[in-house]
Structure 1
Amino acid sequence: MPMQRAISGLVLTDLYTSFLLTALVIELTPGPNMAWLALTSASQGRRSGFAAVAGIALGLAILAAASAIGLAELATRWPAAFNLLRYAGVAYLLWLAWKAWTGENEVSPDAVPDNKLGAWFRHGLLLNLLNPKAALFFIAVLPAYIDQGSHVAPQVTLLSASYVGIATLVHLIIVALAAQAHAWISVGNRSHLVRRMFAILLAGIGVWFLISTG
């Protein structure tokens, strides 16, 4: 089938290998997602971190699908849309920081209830949907690795799925490493101090997010 041949052809080219390396380097570069995941996993534990990773992965998949059906055209016609995304993302991070400061994200040595895992999933999803840098990857970077002489749709699907897979793997490793600190954080009165530090760092990530996406 033409679509299968297009995918097979792309996989066998240096273009695909180059794309995978580019995606890996981008994901290994420190950014708001990485910092937020590390903080979440260290303060809330591995399960919360994994739930957040699932939300981020779904957010990336949605952005990939949106870019395939016209996000690039929207960015060209209405550049202000990305500024709105940027400000909304910063506002959401600051809101999370306020919740942590006031105690709504209290660190506890107990296991995180399943209903709380859903909240961390939603946080990861929303943070990624409101991240213009993630959208710009699919708009500005991914098209450079498409072979225009072949079917475009299957190539976009393969490249998008590959990027989501690489990003998710990197995020899972970050969660596993950062969660090692959770047991220490949960001892005694450390949780209160860490919660306040968590709030300050979240606010800092929000400012970083604003500057790095400007």
Structure 2
Amino acid sequence: MTLDLILALTAYAFVTSITPGPNNTMLLASGVNFGFGPTFPHILGVNLGFSVMVLAVGLGAGGAFVAFPLLHELLRYGGAAYLLYLAWRIARSGGVNGAAGRAEPMTFLQAAAFQWINPKTWIMAIGAITAYTPESGYFVNILVVTLVFTLINGPCVAAWAGFGTLLQRLLARPAWLRAFNVAMALLLVGSLYPILIMAL
């Protein structure tokens, strides 16, 4: 893989990792409600879970959708249903001192598993493999793509949790925190728009 291609991949990894999506919305909400330390396993789960997904897609997991189209439909609607559930939990959360919903942040394993039903991560992984992975030396290039995403994605998703932690003081009043959580839940529901459009 050439240096120019690695730089282009780095830019792709940064833009797709830092922009809003289900992971970043949930990390922002977790930072606000629980703080950075308790959210750290969630951050690692997103980062390492997604890295494993990129590696798996590069090694052929994405081909399962071609072989089994029903799998794509199950993933789409199962993922949408789970995102709606997470939005409901976020909307009902009241923070560390009196959560009405989720009593603790997402765990490492929950966050890692979530990558497999998150529509944005599938698009990111397939885009990285198809656009930035030369066929010559394919296996080594897959490792390079995975490493680049691991190094870029981690700080990007951590920034969202960090920003949420900074917002804790501004959202100290229960009514403001509640409004924030409802807004985050609505953003998460809004992330389902592309899925709904594809279904029409």
What TM-score, normalized to structure 2? Answer: 0.80
Match in the other structure for 2:177:
194
C-alpha distance in structure 2 between counterparts of 1:198 and 1:158, whole Å: 37
Q: Does residue 90 of structure 2 align to residue 108 of structure 1?
A: no
Letter of the 1:120 counterpart: T
**1:182 Cα offset (Å):** 1.6
CA contact (8 A) 1:90 1:206 kept: no
Runs of 4+ that moved beyond 6 A:
none
1:155 offset after TM fit, Å? 0.6
Question: Aligned in 2, Cα 1:86/1:164: closer, same or farther, shift over 3 Å?
Answer: farther
Indicate if the aligned counterparts of 2:51 and 2:149 stay in contact, CA closer than 8 A: no
Change (3 A) 1:89 1:47: farther
Which position in structure 2 is the counterpart of 1:22?
12
CA RMSD in angstroms, aligned pairs only: 2.7
**Whole-angstrom CA distance in 2 between matches of 1:45 and 1:95:** 22
Quote how far apart the aligned CAs of 1:133 are.
2.6
Aligned partner of 2:187 in structure 1 is 205
Paired position in structure 2 for 1:180: 166
The one-letter code sitting in structure 1 at the alignment partner of 2:174 is S
Is the alpha carbon distance of 1:207 and 1:83 closer, same or farther for their aligned partners in structure 2, counting shifts above 3 Å? farther
Question: Are 1:106 and 1:192, in contact at CA under 8 Å, matched by a contact in 2?
Answer: no
- The change in CA–CA distance for 1:30 and 1:196 in structure 2 (over 3 A counts) is closer
Output the CA distance in 2 between the equivalents of 1:99 and 1:32.
Answer: 14
Distance 1:14 1:99, change over 3 A: closer
Name which one, 1 or 2, has greater alpha-carbon Rg. 1
Which amino acid in the other structure matches residue 164 of structure 1?
Answer: T
State the aligned residue count: 192
**Which residue of 122, 137, 144 corresponds with 1:158?**
144
Pairwise CA distance, 1:197:
4.6
Instruction: Report sequence identity in percent.
Output: 22
Unaligned runs of 5+ in 1: 1-9
Query: 1: distance between equivalents of 2:188 and 2:78?
Result: 10
The unaligned stretches of length 5 or more in structure 2 are none
Residue 23 (structure 1) shift: 1.5
Match of 1:6 in 2: none
Return the alpha-carbon distance in structure 2 between the equivalents of residues 147 and 194 of structure 1: 47
| 1:59 corresponds to | 49
Q: CA deviation at 1:184?
A: 4.0
